[in-house]
């Protein structure tokens, strides 16, 4: 069985949906009427950097996810389940028939407005340690205003709380054995935390007047980690609760695996969820990718600038020990951009200061992860081990899917 998953906030970026707006022009026209501004311009040009604002980011992601769903309906076989991470849950419900495109977009727009009105907080990802260690660390250091907002993978959690508390606890977590990163998340408030309760209450009032249709395909709830039931009132309640309760993504994926899902396909502008699913289904993080990236930083970025000293440099040691000046940081950033194929600012090199910290930062960026270790696994082997491809080939072999459609679907996955 297969499941299509939809990403949420934090995946927005300039140029999103570029290849799909022209292919499905009706959707953006309908979106413009709901939103009152040109969604294609927002996504492709990002005027005044509005995509960094919750009130613009959430509708943009919903629309682009809908474009990817339109493409999937033409290019890919039907799904047995849908799931979405946080905001992505609305895309999953739209795909399953809970509401039409405009109704979903109206809900998302109002949700974004309510969530955007809650200020004074932020979110940050803790990478590398278990839930127990995260909870114990928060308790030991009396971080009562910080909660786990996202259970993203067995060793990746997102914390939500005030700017002050997150800033204080950051230095604490960075000293905890096993922590590989404490990384701010690109959102404007303390989402999925008790601070969002007022927004959840106002959203519940709006949901009461919305008609919800019967789901044609099961959708997994972020709140429960189980499928939404047939009761529309229950669906409304869970959507309201989701704003102030944690996203239990790990539970969602474990349920789907236990239900027989072997192929997960991410529909959207990133592969963040794909990476998380890999970590959940293997029950361990992916240390080899991190190790390869650290070695590439030493060999391909540091060594050309400072010589062979880079190869023996401690991965956790500060770059300050190398006596680098500002010109070297600029050159390192340029070289990093060339090596990884994405822009890297000099202050990123300076702020993270060590090979390990820089690698952990880069691995949180979906535009870098794919380029981090291009030689880590040969392409033919990767395709053979991809369960989504295996499922498509199986469907082709038993006659469920034609050869041409199978080839198109595999190309879409690539």
Q: Which residues are catalytic?
A: 86, 192
CB 107 within 8 A of CB 66: no
**3-state SS class at 404:** helix
State the Cα–Cα distance between residues 17 and 61, nearest whole angstrom. Answer: 9
Report how far Cα 197 is from the mean position of its chain's Cα atoms: 23
State the Cα–Cα distance between residues 304 and 247, nearest whole angstrom. Answer: 43
No. of helices (H) and no. of strands (E), the chain? 20, 8
Task: Could you list the beta-strand ranges (E) of 128-234.
Answer: 147-153, 156-162, 181-184, 219-220
Task: Could you list the beta-strand ranges (E) of 202-354.
Answer: 219-220, 263-266
CB 204 within 8 A of CB 162: no
Q: Which residues pair with 384 in a beta bridge?
A: none
State the Cα–Cα distance between residues 251 and 254, nearest whole angstrom. Answer: 5
Given its phi and psi angles, is residue 178 left (phi above 0), alpha (psi -120 to 50 degrees) or beta? left
CB 149 within 8 A of CB 192: yes
- Helix (H) / strand (E) element for 127: namely strand 121-127
């Amino acid at each position: 069985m297969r499941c299509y998953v939809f990403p949420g906030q934090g995946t927005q970026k300039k140029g999103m949906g570029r290849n799909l707006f022209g292919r499905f022009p009706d959707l953006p026209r309908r979106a413009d009427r709901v939103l009152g501004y040109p969604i294609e311009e927002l996504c492709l040009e990002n005027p005044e950097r509005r995509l960094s604002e919750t009130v613009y980011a959430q509708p943009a992601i919903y629309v682009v996810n809908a474009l990817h769903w339109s493409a999937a309906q033409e290019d890919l076989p039907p799904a047995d389940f849908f799931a979405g991470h946080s905001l992505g849950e609305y895309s999953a419900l739209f795909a399953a028939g809970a509401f039409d495109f405009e109704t979903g977009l109206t809900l998302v727009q109002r949700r974004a407005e309510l969530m955007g009105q809650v200020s004074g907080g932020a979110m940050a990802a803790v990478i590398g340690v278990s839930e127990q260690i995260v909870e114990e660390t928060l308790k030991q250091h009396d971080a009562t205003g910080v909660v786990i907002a996202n259970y993203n993978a067995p060793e990746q959690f997102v914390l939500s709380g005030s700017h002050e508390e997150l800033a204080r606890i950051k230095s604490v977590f960075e000293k905890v054995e096993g922590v590989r990163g404490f990384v701010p998340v690109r959102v404007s408030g303390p989402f999925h935390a008790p601070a969002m309760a007022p927004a959840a209450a106002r959203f519940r009032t709006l949901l009461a007047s919305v008609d919800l249709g019967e789901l044609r395909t099961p959708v997994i709830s972020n709140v429960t980690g189980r499928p939404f039931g047939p009761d529309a009132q229950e669906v409304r309640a869970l959507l309201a609760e989701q704003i102030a309760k944690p996203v239990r993504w790990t539970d969602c994926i474990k349920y789907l695996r236990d239900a027989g899902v072997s192929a997960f396909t991410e529909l959207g502008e990133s592969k963040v969820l794909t990476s998380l699913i890999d970590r959940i289904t293997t029950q361990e993080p992916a240390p080899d990718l991190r190790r390869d990236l650290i070695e590439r930083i030493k060999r391909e970025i540091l060594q050309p600038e400072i010589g062979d000293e880079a190869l023996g440099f401690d991965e956790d040691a500060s770059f300050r020990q190398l006596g680098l000046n500002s010109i070297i940081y600029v050159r390192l950033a340029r070289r990093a951009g060339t090596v990884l194929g994405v822009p890297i600012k000099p202050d990123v090199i300076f702020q993270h200061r060590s090979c390990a910290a820089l690698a952990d930062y880069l691995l949180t960026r979906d535009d870098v992860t794919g380029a981090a270790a291009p030689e880590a696994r040969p392409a033919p082997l990767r395709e053979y081990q991809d369960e989504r491809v295996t499922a498509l080939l199986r469907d082709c072999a038993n006659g469920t899917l034609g050869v041409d459609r199978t080839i198109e679907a595999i190309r879409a996955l690539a």
